[in-house]
Amino acid sequence: MFSAPTAVTDIFILRKHCEEIARTLPIPYPFNSKAFIEALIKYRGRRIELVEMTVDRDTPCGMFVATPEADYIFYAANTSPLHQEHIIAHEAAHILYNHGGTGALGEAVAPLLMKNLSPELITRVLGRTAYSESDEAEAEMLASVILIRAGRADPPTLTSRELECGVNRFGAIFG
């Protein structure tokens, strides 16, 4: 597994790895999230359920929960369709990387889970820890590569030098 990108070269290595993964995926064209998830179900042989949720500023825009029977991708209903596509691709990337489900579910998701899961399983899922920075970097990069390959996002146009300067500025600001 990759560690969180700490330098420009790590970002390029991660992108190359994500491009290799994306080449093996059944990305439908024209792209839509539901067709992509249906293709992933066939590709993986495991059920994935898409669940809309209304989010506020304190709720994550998306998350996924892995259960013994299925994976559940929760995504914001109250955002743009393009943002929904990115959220779903990001959560699908967590599934593809086998990161496990998130524990940062909160009150907005608990009622949605109650329809499908036992109280014991919800407690177990809610007790998990959040994703690491490297998990997030992997999921974000793979989601971006999937959407670029699907023609839903533009490929990056920054030069290596511009990217290096941006990474250095980010590091100086956030340590």
Q: What is the pLDDT of residues 26-71, one digit of tens each?
A: 999 899 999 999 999 999 999 999 999 888 887 788 888 888 888 9
Query: Rounded to the nearest 5°, which phi and psi values hold at 92?
Result: -65, -35
| DSSP reduced 3-state for 110 | helix
Between CA 160 and CA 11 the distance in angstroms is 11
> Which tokens sit at 94?
């967590």
Q: Tell me the mean pLDDT in the region 8-17.
A: 81
Q: Kindly tell me if the per-residue pLDDT of 103 is higher than 90.
A: no
How far is residue 155's CA from residue 163's CA, in Å, rounded to a whole number?
Answer: 14
Rounded Cα distance, 78 and 83, in Å = 10
Whether the model pTM is above 0.85: no
Can you read off the two tokens belonging to residue 159?
């030069």
